[in-house]
Amino acid sequence: MSHKLGIIGYGGMACWHHDSIKANFTDLTVVAAYDIDEGRRELAKSRGLTVFETADEFLASHLFDIVLVATPNNFHCDYVCRALKAGYNVVCEKPVALNCAELDLMEQTAKETGKLFSVHQNRRWDQDYRIVKEAYEKGLVGKPFTVESRVHGQGGMVHGWREFKVAGGGMVYDWGVHLIDQILDMIPSKVVSVYANLHVVRTKEVDDYFKLVFRFENGITAQVEVGTFNLVQLPRWYVCGSGGALVIEGWDCSGKIIHTKDHLMKWEPVVVQTKAGPTRTMAPRPADTLEELPLPHVETSWSSYYRNIMDTIDGKAELIVTIPSVRRVLRVIEACFESDKRGEGVKTDI
């Protein structure tokens, strides 16, 4: 069955959705748009879309069966509820809401209308994440005890409305929501504590750097770090387990898995003199006791998100990005802000 999509908020991300759908689907077509900005409406019109001057006209048109809400974050709740009540299936850009109370209202509206409601957590299909997830599930580093996920930029810039607190700007809501979602999707365990430290480095009012550490009930410690002004960039992923370690360096997904060789250890650690002083406990292992393995090969595509949306509407599949899974992410984010405000870790039951 073919589907048609209309977009509320034809900004940069909406254009990405439009282009991605056009490149990957024949049975899903973007046909209409509404934006409060005349310039964005003109752009949408120049790209072949039917454009509406008001949200009411857009929602009354029924030229489409799916609505994408891609406005600034503080408008998500209002437009999602209006679209659901108007009889549309709704996809909302992340973060779905600024707090759980807003999400509860949206979920209740979806239940009352019987329409599909999901959130565009497309980075569950990122190749780097899928590689780590497969390594985790197949035990390629043994039993993991620490997982580090980070995104570092160098420009020190936060773009457009994302630099304003009222709009739900800042890196926790922008990138943090993705990295937290990935880790919660990968590790099937309850989050029992959260510690976060947010910084305003080069912006005026929103976080452009944060570090978040949370502990799972199964003992794994996860760290999420995002910054826009990190001139020295650390690996995108680092996972250490009882049987080895995994590293993914950056955007090109290059990396490796390191294991110890199976033969019995026949070397005795000795005190090593370094420029930083002597050490034996932290002395490097002999190279012949280690082996380097390639990362698992994973094929993935962001288009899988919209394929799942359509298949769910058509009764062919179960929804992957469910509202309960999104609520867990939002609860961690709320705990993140609470921890930073209090200057200490907070216990959770997420």
CA atoms within 13 A on the CB side of 260: 14
**Per-residue pLDDT, 264:** 56
pLDDT in tens, 50-71: 999 999 999 999 999 999 999 9
**Per-residue pLDDT, 287:** 83
**Per-residue pLDDT, 279:** 83
Q: Phi and psi at residue 65, in whole multiples of 5°? A: -115, -10
Is 3.40.50.720 the CATH classification of the domain at 3-120? yes
Q: Pull the structure tokens for residue 75.
A: 């408008």
Task: For residue 176, give Cα distances in angstroms to 52, 54, 210.
Answer: 33, 32, 9
DSSP class per residue in 62-95: -S-SEEEE-S-GGGHHHHHHHHHHTT-EEEEPSS
**Per-residue pLDDT, 91:** 98
Nearest to 93 by CA among 112, 70, 72, 127: 70
Nearest to 31 by CA among 22, 39, 40, 23: 22
User: 173 with 158: CB under 8 angstroms?
Assistant: no
**Per-residue pLDDT, 186:** 98
**Per-residue pLDDT, 267:** 62
**Per-residue pLDDT, 278:** 87
CB-based burial label for 36 (10 Å; 0-12, 13-18, 19+):
middle
Q: Pull the structure tokens for residue 88.
A: 């549309």
CB-based burial label for 79 (10 Å; 0-12, 13-18, 19+):
buried
d(CA 304, CA 66): 16
Q: How many residues does the chain have?
A: 350
The β-bridge relationship of strands 117-119 and 89-92 is parallel
With a cut of 70, list the residues of the chain below it in pLDDT: 262-268
Match domain 125-299+331-347 to its CATH number in 3.40.50.40, 3.30.360.10, 3.40.50.300, 3.60.15.10.
3.30.360.10
DSSP class per residue in 145-212: EEEEEEEE-SS----GGGG-GGGT-SHIIIIIHHHHHHHHHH--S-EEEEEEEEE-SSSSSS-SEEEE
**Per-residue pLDDT, 284:** 80
Cα Rg, the chain, nearest whole Å: 23
Query: Do the two domains 3-120 and 125-299+331-347 of this chain adopt the same fold?
Result: no
pTM: 0.96
d(CA 145, CA 238): 11
d(CA 238, CA 152): 14
d(CA 121, CA 171): 16
**Per-residue pLDDT, 31:** 98
Give the residue extent of every domain in the chain.
3-120, 125-299+331-347
Identity at 222, one-letter amino acid code:
A
